[in-house]
A and B are shown apart, each in its own frame.
Chain A
Amino acid sequence: MASSIENNNEKLTLKSSDGEEFLVEKHVALQSTLLQNMLDSDCSSADVIPLPKIDARTLALVLGYCKKHADASSSKQGELNSFDSEFLKDMDMGALFNLVLAANFMEIKGLLDIAAQKIADTIKDKPHQEVREIFHVENDYTPEEEAAVREENRWAFEGFP
């Protein structure tokens, strides 16, 4: 009721962590559950919504996704699916990391799902050594933990005479 009056112009401004402002149509912003809840609960607070965790490059990607999905509505699922698969196709792991965090923070379920799936596809069937390499993750186990991990990964076979 009162909440909708302020946004009757159907636009709102989002501000990235590095200070860039994005003018976004309201129906596009509504793809994000976080923004939806903010708009529903209280809109008088500010004209500009700050997103302190998301940089401009990532936010631009996120909004590109939201716009496509908001505009396509329900009719063209096939087109959306091909858009989704193209969207992440050549993305490097650093950008993907920022994107999945942004999708999680802004609560954009569709984007979170495809980003998580992309990450899963990248590490599927790969030994943990390769997963560490892909993500630049260090082996930070203590010798005791390392031993516990090895034990957890040990398969003993039964049925010997």
Chain B
Amino acid sequence: MEETTQEQQQWSRLPREILITIAKCLSKTAAAARLDTLRLRSVCKSWRSSIPTFNQQQETLHFPLGLPFPISPNPNHSLRGRFSLAQSTIYFLQPAPSSPSSSPSKSSSLPWLLRVEEKDAEKGKWKPLNPLSKVSTDSIPKWFPKSLNLLDLRFSQIGVAYSIRFVHEDARTTGSNKEDEEDWTTMRIKTLMEQSSSLRVDATLAEEFKSTLILRVAVSLSPWSGSDDYAVMAIHNQGKLGFYKLGDEKWIPISDESKYHDVVHHRGKFYAVDYQGGAVVIDSDLTAKQTVPPLSGHGCGPRGGQIKFLVKSGDDHLYLVDKFPGSKSVVHLEVYKLNETNKKWERVNHLNDQVFFVGDDCCFSVSTQDFPALKGNCIYFPLTCYNFYGEEDFCDGVQNLENGKCGPVELFQPDHMPMFTLPTWLKSKPPASKK
């Protein structure tokens, strides 16, 4: 008994430098660092005083980061501004143990999928994003909680997504209206769509728009070893690759004739996949080397409609998800796993009990071993569907690789809907959010 008491005092008296070493081990990514820091600071007095707050941690990168604009040198327009690299984090939320002594380490309830972007670190303000789709983030659904407390919930970080937005120079100088800053490209899309419907598209505007549009971003960084390793690979100008290293003045275009759909950082290198499924590796010499040949039987042109996604699985393999878009009845996904020795994509019909989330701008994977309430070998993705008024809309879709069934989660896996809407265990919280 006495020994236990001694132990109690021991851990709370862990020397500061050891605690900081542990904190560094916990946070392999900058995205995880914030939450891990909060958790450690919440344990007891001495830990709270030993671990500096996330905002005080000088060596950690704080998003959003400003990057130079444009990526291609000598653009044929005079648009000025900069890029802003934002980081969003995807979490699974589960109820925290109400009585610590009876807490199982793995909760059996279905987790709630939450994606947030930090808006104001000082004030703890966050912007919720749609986990899978980058559209329809303007309005938050009515049921969404106004605030959450990390102490009441089990947060598991399951993914990190990066996006690059263009910030117009005017917005930067006035600097007053933050929302306008973010919406420059969105505003141009609307203008261009209006113009195209009246068949009077402004060519300069179209060029400007193209140079500000970043399709996908992959980031590699090790937050604790200084910022020197931090690098960005972006797909811009409808399929071209550009590389940027923190501190550099300019982007370095990766010269290549292909048209890329997705890029990830995997095992210390950047991998990009083109519209035919061919994959290249970009190493420190910044040249794209063909490493996987295109998928066979892919005669379709760059506008064939299929979209290729790269997914890093939890067991450290690289997968290619080929999305055949369309409305409910047509849409389906085909999945290929990279055979590292033969350098080939191999079609698979199971994911080793992994679950994939293939969003418009981010892909991530979880294991059913970590989240037993999930159904394995399923892929969730945004699905085009039509709402009550017949307007085009997005809903959450699922494909079960085992039986090939594919459709809206609401219809095909109604029991999994709490993952995308508010779960009952969160609803039943005391009505603290009510005014």
B is a partner of A = yes
Chain A residues in the interface with B (C-beta under 8 A): 93-94, 97, 100-101, 104, 112-113, 116-117, 119-121, 123-133, 135-141, 145, 149-161
With A129-B103, A132-B44, A135-B11 in contact, is A159–B127 under 8 Å at CB? Answer: yes
Q: Which residues does chain A contribute within 8 Å of B14, judged by CB atoms? A: 97, 100
User: Would you mind naming 20 contact pairs between A and B with Cβ atoms under 8 Å apart?
Assistant: A101-B18, A119-B22, A128-B151, A130-B97, A135-B11, A138-B12, A139-B44, A140-B45, A145-B48, A149-B48, A152-B53, A153-B42, A154-B124, A155-B147, A155-B148, A157-B145, A158-B119, A159-B127, A159-B137, A159-B140
Q: Which residues does chain A contribute within 8 Å of B7, judged by CB atoms? A: 93-94, 97, 136
Point out the residue from B45, B140, B145 that lies within 8 Å of A141, measured CB to CB. Answer: B45
Q: Which residues does chain A contribute within 8 Å of B39, judged by CB atoms? A: 123, 126-128, 131
Q: Which residues does chain B contribute within 8 Å of A132, judged by CB atoms? A: 43-44, 100
B146 to A156, Cβ gap below 8 A? yes
With A137-B8, A155-B147 in contact, is A160–B26 under 8 Å at CB? Answer: no
Q: Which residues does chain A contribute within 8 Å of B151, judged by CB atoms? A: 127-128, 149-150, 153
A154 to B45, Cβ gap below 8 A? no
A132 to B123, CA, bound (A): 27
Would you give the 0/1 interface string for B117-129, flagging 1 where the beta carbon is closer than 8 Å to chain A?
Answer: 0010001111110
Tell yes or no: B56 within 8 A of A by CB: no
Per the 8 Å Cβ criterion, residues 1-49 of B in contact with A are: 3-4, 7-8, 10-12, 14-15, 17-18, 21-26, 36, 38-45, 47-48
Q: How far is the CB of B371 from chain A (nearest CB, A)?
A: 11
* CB closest residue in chain A, given B46: A140
Contact residues of B: prevailing secondary structure: mixed
With A127-B96, A139-B44 in contact, is A155–B22 under 8 Å at CB? Answer: no
Q: How far is the CB of B418 from chain A (nearest CB, A)?
A: 19
Chain B residues in the interface with A (C-beta under 8 A): 3-4, 7-8, 10-12, 14-15, 17-18, 21-26, 36, 38-45, 47-48, 53, 96-97, 100-101, 103, 105, 116, 119, 123-128, 137-140, 144-151, 153-157
A157 to B96, Cβ gap below 8 A? no
A94 to B8, CA, bound (A): 10
